[in-house]
Amino acid sequence: MIKKTHLQFHNVAIGIIWLFHLCGILGILYGDSQWFVGATPLNLSLCFVLLMLTSRHAPKVYLVALIAFIVGMVAEGLGVNYGLIFGHYQYGEALGWKIVGVPFLIGVNWAILVICCGAIAADLAGNFFTKVLLGVGLMLLLDFVIEPIAPILDFWEFTEGVAPAQNYIGWFAVALPLHFLYQSLKIELKGNFTHHLFLLQVVFFTILLLQINTLQNAL
């Protein structure tokens, strides 16, 4: 009965994130784009809560989430305030409340990405180091897709106008120990909520990237 209930909740959670992301794509491109971009904090918060709830049978995930949040916030703080790790950039207003210039939800997003990419890598790769590198690679892939449209969405913007190579090197350097931690803990997540959430983020930002001209006119 418990397994059946968990599976039902898992499927409902997947349905919710699909609905929110698809509505977000349509709303940003063809609807009230300002409102939907402004709802980004709500979407990210909901995804994080659902991720934590669907992962409750693997409590080590909470440790990874906490450490990834702290590491992500510290690294981003060094970047925003001192130009270290990722380069010189500033966050806009779309991601909500900030701590020393870094949106609280950026730390949350670091936690989401480390867990999702770590879980996918654990399922797809064979040995430990391949899992770690695949997890880091998946995070870099998503960052590569997001960077060109982040300024348009008022997420963040680099002083140079485009993300420098330092940004990707920094992502690799910060993500590597976090994925080492994730795989070291040998976390086994039930279901594939993490797979759906990562796929949706890639699809969401890829579609916006392909429709960048429409996006610029809408915003």
Q: Which tens digit of pLDDT belongs to each residue from 5-19?
A: 667 888 999 999 999
**Closest to 206 measured CA to CA, from 133, 113, 143:** 143
Report CA torsion sign: 116, 120, 125, 128.
positive
Residue that has been written with the tokens 């699809």 in this structure: 203
Return phi, psi of residue 199, to 5°.
-60, -40
| Residue pLDDT, tens place only, 87-101 | 999 999 999 999 999
Q: What is the mean pLDDT of residues 137-157?
A: 96
CA distance 18 to 216: 24
Q: Model-level pTM?
A: 0.94
Give domain limits for the chain.
2-218
Pure H helices in 55-96: 60-82
Is pLDDT of 1 > 90?
no
123, with CB counted inside 10 A (0-12, 13-18, 19+), is: middle
Give the whole-angstrom CA distance, residue 59 versus residue 53.
10
Q: Is 84 helix (H, G, I), strand (E, B) or coil?
A: coil
Kindly report, residue by residue over 12-64, the tens digit of the pLDDT: 999 999 999 999 999 998 888 889 999 999 999 999 999 999 998 899 999 99
Q: How many CB atoms lie within 10 A of CB 195?
A: 16
